[in-house]
Amino acid sequence: MKQGIIFDLDGVLLSTDEMHFAAWKSIADELGIPFGRTENNLLRGVSRMASLEIILGLGHMTLSEEEKQTLAERKNGRYVAFLQSLTPDVVTQEVRDTLTELHARGRKIAVGSSSKNAKLILRLTDLLKYFDAVSDGTNITRSKPDPEVFVKGAAFLGLAPDACAVVEDAVAGIDAANAGGFMSIGIGDAASYEKADAKITHIEELLNLI
């Protein structure tokens, strides 16, 4: 029995994928780099700067650190503007019921997200109240597949990695969980990843696993 569950945010508890895609596509368009759904999938689960590096690599472009920082901030500004349209309605009742039941069973729960906007998203969607801890892009220096965000999330809960499960929809997130010594649970795209310790189709299935 795992004492703690750490959830990736985007793609697991809710989805802002379209907002990320629109913001990154606008940057790629400015640079003249072709960017569609296939290219966007390469950015799943990785940090903002790592995502920008992937896009620049697609266009075989080299920019200065200052130029890259400017582009990353521009992308984030557009994404945050899109986020303002989020409401609690984007979170399903299934997600809320599952989080409530996990607490009722005495589990500690945290968010483990590479996003620096995680707390804003949690506030806008009225999810923050469900979590005992949030580990996000503001407290890490290495993005997934490095396990840092989950290791810190477990520490915030006062638990060791092997006492926790991680729920992830991205391959990089499953790799990060495995590297950190966590039980890895794949959902969404990661439900077909062979390295996931367990796989679920709906979040409520967690209640049969944990």
Q: Which residues are catalytic?
A: 8, 10
Radius of gyration of the chain (CA): 17
Long-range CB pairs of 27-30 (<8 Å, 24+ gap) are: 27/52, 27/55, 27/71, 27/74, 27/75, 28/55, 28/58, 28/59
Cα-based distances in Å from 55 to 6, 28, 29, 43, 176: 29, 7, 11, 9, 22
Residue 170 region by backbone torsions, left for phi larger than 0, else alpha for psi between -120 and 50, else beta: beta
Six token digits for residue 194: 């062979």
Kindly provide the residue ranges of all beta strands, DSSP E only, lying in 24-74, ordered along the sequence: none
**Dist CA 205 CA 178 (whole Å):** 20
Which 3 state secondary structure label does DSSP give 90? helix
